[in-house]
Amino acid sequence: MAVFQGIGLARGIAIGPAFLYRPAPLEVGRRRAGRTVEELTRFEGALQRVQAHLRALRAAIPSALRPETDRLLEAQVLLLADPALVDRARGAILEGRPAEQAWQEAVEAYLSIFASIQAEDLRARAADLSDVGRSVLAALLGRLETAPFGMARGAVLVAEMLGPNEALQLAVQPPRGLCLAGGTPTAPVAVVARRLELPAAIGLGEDFLRQVRSGQTLVVDGSTGLVEVEPEPEVLAYYRERQRLLQEVRPAREVGAPAVTADGWRVDVRVDLERPDELLPALAGGAEGIGLARTDFLFLGKETPPPEEEQVAAYRRLLEQVPAGRVFFCTLSAGPEAPLPFPAEPELRNPLLGLRGVRLSLAYLSAFREQLRAILRAGAGRSIGVVFPMAETLAELRAALEWLERARLDLQNAGLPQAQDVAPAVLLQTPLSVLGLEALAGEEVGFFLDLDRLTEYLTACDRHNLRVAHLFRPLHPAVLRLVQEAVEALHRRGRRLDVCGESAGSPGAVALLLGLGVDGFCLPAGHIAGVKVLLGRLSIPEVQALAREALFRSSAAEVESLVENFWESRRAR
């Protein structure tokens, strides 16, 4: 038996035989070019076959997955039609090179350009280009595969990494589980795995890949990223029981019902929305509205901030899909997962400690003012909120509020309709903001707490860095004490606290956060239905007792063991 720790992507347990996927290398042998017209015909035919393959792939993908998969497909289709890339290959063919060599040289030239630029959006584009490059080359060599995995049903797919095209194949041919030696939580394969609710672990390392053999029994814990190879019988029995209990949750989902604890305590469960196309899956999963509507998606890949009118239209479209309830728009955050190509800042050693959140907005006031105006205009006739991420000090918060008021006066003086019911709020992300909460709470604002980011800052750990991701422990007693501090400071003033972040949706976090007194959850779409079921199994007195006990533990491991035993004891009843 061997145990490997990676990064979990989706809640669930997978048990099955390993299937090792190692795509065969595409060798471009030396050959003399045929007649130019023949080489051009071969090249154009390869492009058409790959385009047809992508169309067929889209048709085979279930429609419920289309919002995510269409973005990946669109990137590949655009590259196949990119005149600079395709014409470069055509030009090399006209100079007498074989089609394979001409295409490979064109792709490698562009990949070398992308490799010299550290922007996140260009790294993603490089992955798409590498994938498209391989597909066209395979078509030229007569080796374009429509079903690359060829695995039996019920297998756990094991690979070094999966590119965008292979990630799309998961939606057509989903394995029971997924284990990758590499990968990041924002890679295309991670996006697809989460949408499929596929128990998956990434970042398991090359040693994992060297040790695993096809056919070996694997257990994948998608919540923790833990993978066990050939587990002992008692360990396997434990995971099979956990798997059975998790599967019982699915038919128990009462999507339309509000979240209520076993003793009748009402808890808000809303979606933490990264992109508008996540909204419908969230509502289908039982989200009771939008807790946080992130706005970074509008700014990504742009050399300049989007115009005000473009922002107004995007925010209005979102509001139209949620006809009732207050929607909180979070101003530009620009975290390390979504760095911006503007402003042209030098590459930072650690983006978490750089210019982001309100710091960024207050440094670029023209863009900040336009975004605030757009949010207010889009919210005309509605109740909305404006959330300031990383407003860590009273001075930053007051400055942000002042610019919100200036935006309101701008619109009033221009005679433009705007939201009249506007609730400003702060997104707490650092220990400083929590420990200084008494000062921040002196302003008439609401509060959200980002558990993911708070844990990163407190543990000095980037959860997306594979070398330190194992240190990211949201259930560490020190993190829980900060949450307790925030809840108590706000409740003394009659204010509520909503907690957001992916880590807030784990069973242990749900029980502990509820016991600490949080008032609501803002979660990614994939967590909502399961969390509502979990809340229905809890009572306030028992989770309060659990939280009190957890606060006195000395390590994250002790707390994790405590909550695991808590849930196991409940299942045994």
Domain limits, the chain: 2-23+148-250, 36-140, 253-572
Confidence of residue 245 (pLDDT cuts 50, 70, 90): low
Report H helices in 61-205.
Answer: 66-80, 83-94, 99-115, 120-140, 164-172, 188-195
The answer, yes or no, to whether residue 381 has pLDDT greater than 80, is yes
Confidence of residue 349 (pLDDT cuts 50, 70, 90): very low
Confidence of residue 252 (pLDDT cuts 50, 70, 90): very low
**Average pLDDT of span 401-416:** 95
Check if the beta carbon of residue 222 is closer than 8 Å to that of residue 6. Answer: no
Written as six digits, the tokens of 372 are 């605030």
Query: What's the half-sphere exposure (Cβ side, CA atoms, 13 Å) at 446?
Result: 22
Per DSSP, the three-state class of 157 is: strand
Cα–Cα distance, 176 to 179 (Å, whole number) = 10
Cα–Cα distance, 370 to 368 (Å, whole number) = 5
| Chain position carrying tokens 């501090």 | 485
Report which of residues 97 and 215 the model is more confident about: 215
Superfamily (CATH) of domain 36-140:
PtsI, HPr-binding domain (1.10.274.10)
**Average pLDDT of span 89-118:** 81
> Considering the entire predicted model, what is its pTM?
0.63
For residue 75, the model assigns a pLDDT of: 80
Cα–Cα distance, 351 to 347 (Å, whole number) = 8
Report which of residues 257 and 359 the model is more confident about: 359
CATH no., domain 253-572: 3.20.20.60
| Chain position carrying tokens 């790294």 | 123
Check if the beta carbon of residue 337 is closer than 8 Å to that of residue 464. Answer: yes
What phi and psi values does residue 266 have, to the nearest 5 degrees?
-80, 130
Spatial CB neighbours of 180, under 8 Å, sequence gap ≥ 6: 6, 158, 159, 160, 161, 162, 189, 200, 201, 202, 203, 204
Cα–Cα distance, 107 to 79 (Å, whole number) = 10
Spatial CB neighbours of 237, under 8 Å, sequence gap ≥ 6: none
Cα–Cα distance, 490 to 469 (Å, whole number) = 31
DSSP letters along 390-440, please? T--SHHHHHHHHHHHHHHHHHHHHHT----SEEEEEEEE-SHHHHHTHHHH
CATH 3.40.109.10 fits 2-23+148-250, yes or no: no
The answer, yes or no, to whether residue 122 has pLDDT greater than 70, is no
For residue 247, the model assigns a pLDDT of: 64
| Chain position carrying tokens 């990223």 | 225
Per-residue pLDDT tens for 510-545? Answer: 999 999 999 999 998 777 888 888 898 899 999 999
The answer, yes or no, to whether residue 462 has pLDDT greater than 80, is no
Type and span of the H or E element at 357: none
**Average pLDDT of span 228-249:** 77
Cα–Cα distance, 66 to 499 (Å, whole number) = 29
**Average pLDDT of span 7-14:** 80
For residue 344, the model assigns a pLDDT of: 43
